[in-house]
């Protein structure tokens, strides 16, 4: 079955070009031109990937993204913005977007990013429901993280970061590897964003407890290891 892609774009010419290109590539495409109508359809249908414009009538692309993630939907989301504004990109990534592109964009690059996101989404769908390591448990479909019996209050980005660590326990991960797997290959910011989010994650996952799981490997990156008793 062809992957289903939802496009939410209020510029009809752009939406139509995207539809024609994606259908030519073999995808099934559904278009909405405003956020409110899109949200109604998203609640009634299932899609494999979302392409959301940031500036939309009714509901903004950011609000749509928040609602999608609030409903525990984990399908990839690619944001489109007409402004090359760092704040839009950072906000979108923090809310759980998987990638972004600035208009005008190169169609071949967009198609390449869609292929990458769909591969990642397919891999995530095939994962076990729960990942465990020591006292840590991740319920992937519900996007819930636990340390012992305690539910950890994680942001979407913190959850994705912990997910990455739990997929590679006892393996040292460089900042570049974490950027690629958690923020996406197209992220153009500084690698110190990894340090910032590792600190956020430690504050919630390690600091309230006697032993820490995440350890720093100086000059390289981080590793998830069983705490030393």
Residue ending a domain, choose from 97, 125, 153: 125
Judgement on whether residues 16 and 115 belong to the same structural domain of the protein = yes
Total number of domains in the chain: 2
Question: Is residue 176 predicted with pLDDT exceeding 80?
Answer: yes
The highest-confidence range among 6-15, 85-94, 181-190, by mean pLDDT, is: 6-15
Judgement on whether residues 27 and 109 belong to the same structural domain of the protein = yes
Residue ending a domain, choose from 95, 110, 125: 125
The residues pairing with 84 across neighbouring beta strands, listed in sequence order, are none
Amino acid 185: pLDDT: 54
What is the separation of C-alpha 156 from the centre of its chain, rounded to a whole number of angstroms?
A: 7
Question: Could you tell me the CA-to-CA distances from 134 to 5, 144, 148, 173 in Å, in that order?
Answer: 38, 16, 9, 19
Amino acid 85: pLDDT: 57
Of 159-163, 176-180, 217-221, give the lowest mean pLDDT range. 176-180
Judgement on whether residues 72 and 154 belong to the same structural domain of the protein = no
Supply the range of the domain harboring residue 53: 4-125
- pTM over 0.85? The answer is no
Judgement on whether residues 59 and 112 belong to the same structural domain of the protein = yes
Judgement on whether residues 121 and 206 belong to the same structural domain of the protein = no
Amino acid 23: pLDDT: 93
Considering only CA atoms, which of 78, 74, 75, 8 is closest in space to residue 38? 8
Amino acid 195: pLDDT: 92
Judgement on whether residues 119 and 160 belong to the same structural domain of the protein = no
Residue ending a domain, choose from 125, 160, 192: 125
Q: How confident is the model at residue 189 (pLDDT cuts 50, 70, 90)?
A: low
């Amino acid at each position: 079955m062809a992957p289903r892609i939802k496009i939410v774009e209020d510029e009809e010419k752009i939406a139509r070009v995207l539809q024609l290109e994606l259908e030519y590539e073999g995808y099934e495409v559904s278009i909405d031109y405003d956020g409110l109508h899109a949200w109604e359809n998203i609640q009634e249908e299932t899609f494999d990937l979302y392409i959301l414009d940031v500036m939309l009538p009714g509901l903004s692309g950011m609000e749509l993204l928040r609602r999608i993630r609030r409903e525990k939907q984990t399908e990839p989301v690619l944001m489109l913005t007409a402004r090359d504004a760092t704040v839009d990109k950072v906000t979108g990534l923090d809310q759980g977007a998987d990638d972004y592109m600035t208009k005008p964009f190169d169609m071949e690059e967009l198609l390449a990013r869609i292929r990458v996101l769909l591969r990642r989404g397919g891999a995530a769908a095939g994962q076990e429901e729960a990942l465990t390591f020591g006292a840590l448990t991740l319920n992937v479909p519900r996007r819930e993280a636990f340390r012992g019996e305690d539910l950890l209050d994680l942001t979407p980005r913190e959850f994705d970061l912990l997910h990455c660590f739990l997929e590679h326990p006892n393996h040292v991960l460089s900042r570049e590897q974490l950027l690629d797997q958690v923020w996406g290959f197209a992220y153009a910011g500084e690698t110190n964003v990894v340090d910032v989010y590792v600190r956020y994650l430690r504050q919630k996952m390690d600091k309230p407890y006697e032993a820490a799981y995440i350890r720093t490997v100086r000059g390289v990156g981080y590793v998830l290891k069983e705490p030393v008793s």
